[in-house]
Amino acid sequence: MCAGPAPLYRWCVSARARILLFGLAGALVLAGGLCAASVGGVTGEVLTIVLISAGLAGALLLVFLEIGLEEERDLVREQQRRRAREQRIRGRGRLPRLPRRPRRPS
């Protein structure tokens, strides 16, 4: 069900999975902070940088995913409204009026 047109993509990543992924990103940042406090030397610094960077990058990617999914939902709603409007117009027996271009001055 995940392969195919874009509107089906929404169901590939459930809301529960997104919440868990945000929690995982936060846990990585916290783990990086704990490593900074508990592990000394270069190893601690490297672990801190890697864990905090991975957590913040993951959170940023998830924010972009949420924005994209919201835009996709809006697009689907707009298409549904447009289809419903076209069906109402067809049901009346007349075609939709095209917008007129302004007349050129003489």
Output the pLDDT for position 5.
52
Q: Dig out the tokens for 54 from the structure.
A: 């991975």
- Sequence letter at residue 76: V
Output the pLDDT for position 1.
41
Q: Is residue 96 part of a domain?
A: no
Q: Is residue 18 part of a domain?
A: yes
Q: Is residue 23 part of a domain?
A: yes
Higher-confidence residue: 3 or 26? Answer: 26
> What's the mean pLDDT in 57-86?
90
Q: Is residue 47 part of a domain?
A: yes
Output the pLDDT for position 86.
84
* pLDDT exceeds 60 at position 2: no
3-class state of residue 64 by DSSP: helix
Q: Is residue 25 part of a domain?
A: yes
Number of structural domains the chain divides into: 1
Among the listed residues 22, 50, 26, the one whose alpha carbon sits nearest the alpha carbon of residue 36: 50
Alpha helices in 3-104 (DSSP H): 15-38, 41-92
Q: Is residue 104 part of a domain?
A: no
Q: Is residue 99 part of a domain?
A: no
Q: Is residue 98 part of a domain?
A: no
In terms of residue numbers, what domain contains 24?
A: 10-90
Q: Considering only 7-16, 20-29, 73-82, which range has the smallest mean pLDDT? A: 7-16
> What's the mean pLDDT in 10-37?
87
